[in-house]
Amino acid sequence: MTTLHQSHALLFGALTKEENLIMATAALVGVLLVGGIIMARVDRWRKRQMEDPDDSTGHLGSFREMYDRGELSKEEYDRVLRRMAERAAGKTKTVKTAEPTPGPTPIPVEDEPKPPSGPTD
């Protein structure tokens, strides 16, 4: 116990209160920075794991090869195709397009101008 106290006194005893405060603050800032970096890396990794890369054409080709080699029956291959079609249909987002706005209505042109209707002098 005395050796621990002596080593502590050797390390921090020579420093003033202000220097001890600066060292403790620097250590705290360092720990917070390292923790933030670790949290950012984990968050990026988590988001990357949640992404579902759409490689349906690659999968379809491999299933077709398995069917051609006889590893899949016709029913199994058809079931895979249906599931992939359902999955692709679920991923497509329907884009709602605005209905076209009608242009200005044409004004009918009259052959003869009408006299103004109203009181005349």
Radius of gyration of the chain (CA): 39
Residue 96: which pLDDT band, with cuts at 50, 70 and 90?
low
Statement: residue 32 has pLDDT above 60:
yes
pLDDT value, residue 19: 92
For residues 108 and 28, what is the distance between their CA atoms, to the nearest angstrom? 81
Structural tokens at position 62: 């491999």
For residues 69 and 63, what is the distance between their CA atoms, to the nearest angstrom? 10
When the pLDDT of each residue in the chain is averaged and rounded to a whole number, the result is 78
Decide: 36 and 64 in contact? Cβ < 8 Å. Answer: no
Q: Within 13 Å and on the Cβ side, how many CA atoms surround 53?
A: 6
- pTM of the predicted protein model: 0.36
Across 10-25, average pLDDT: 84
Residue type, 47: K
Q: Where are the alpha helices (DSSP H) in 13-119?
A: 17-50, 56-69, 74-91
pLDDT value, residue 5: 57
**Could you report the per-residue pLDDT of 79-92, keeping only the tens digit for each?**
988 888 888 777 65
